[in-house]
Structure 1
Amino acid sequence: TDGLVEDRVHDIDVGLEQLRRALETAGETPEETCRTVLDARLPDRPGDDIALLVARTRVLGPDQVAEWDVPNDPAAVAEVRSQVTRRLADWGLDELAFTTELILSELVTNAIRYGGETVHVRVVRDRSLICEVFDSSSTSPHLRYAAMTDEGGRGLFLVAQLAERWGTRYTPAGKVIWAEQPAP
């Protein structure tokens, strides 16, 4: 928060520079990084609230990510299913093929139907299997409970039932709807 980089004694630019220097020498663990930053920037008597969040990230290897641009055509959903099935076989995750195909079918169909012109799929193999569908709309998806006589409205409900977790995040270009399954 701004209480970490700005105080009565230092201008914000000075505080940001001190923060940058502290991060250059930060420790190996998030706890060590927090200690280094707080030692460098925490005044004896803070005049403002201070919050610091440190998270560890890592880069995924190219062998852990599969990506496809999807034409804005409902017929393209079949090709997405085929591509993800092949990739899951390459990763030794054949047992996830059925549910992953169904999840991606629903998410890609919704993106084509409601999400604008650009649709992109990314599948990430890490501690879990994450399916992401990017589209150019910022409209929030809504989980519906379709009536027996409704012809549609079951897509996100199916995703919610098949995935361990799912959600939406927004980007400058639109949104990403993601679904996560446990990896065997």
Structure 2
Amino acid sequence: MFTGLIEGQGVVREIRQEDVGVRLEIQVPPEFAGEGKLGDSIAINGCCLTVIELHDGLWSFQAGPETLAKTTLGQLTVGSHVNLERSLPADGRLGGHFVQGHVDGVGQVAKIESDGEWITIWFSAPPALTHQMVAKGSITVEGVSLTLVEVETDRFSVALIPHTLEVTTLGEKQVGDGVNLETDIIGKYMDKMLGATR
């Protein structure tokens, strides 16, 4: 379980083909280096992966064909920056919202509107996902917990403050870029329950 509050950015140092999947080697921020251990769950751009090796600030992960096909991780290249979050300890503070690290689908940056240092980004998304969203509710984009501003049939918007733009990869996004999306788990359950009565 995660919160969607990004703890730092990593840099992809190596992508190695392994049978049908890939091995990702990521340079983690200095504050991560002394705390990780084998088997830890880490959200990489919102996708939960397991640490399989670590040394000298380089952590390795494996991603299978399903993960590569259903998330933006398959689009990473050497040098790509990624959002990182360690799993939430049982006694930790929940500053964002409950994030599982299970990506529901991939959206795209549709429009970027600037207002001084702030920006509003519109993302296109499958209607099946926007159906689980509500204005002022929560959405996870590339692992970042955000508040929904407007929700339409096939797109939604979020407003980003300068801090979020600086400490996450969202400040680098351009129109057309793909993003990992995870809807709020409460919305998923509500959608399922209401669907059973329709």
Normalising by the smaller structure, the TM-score range is under 0.3
TM-score (norm 1): 0.26
Please say which structure displays the higher CA radius of gyration. Answer: 1
Larger relative helix fraction: 1
Larger relative strand fraction: 2
TM-score (norm 2): 0.25
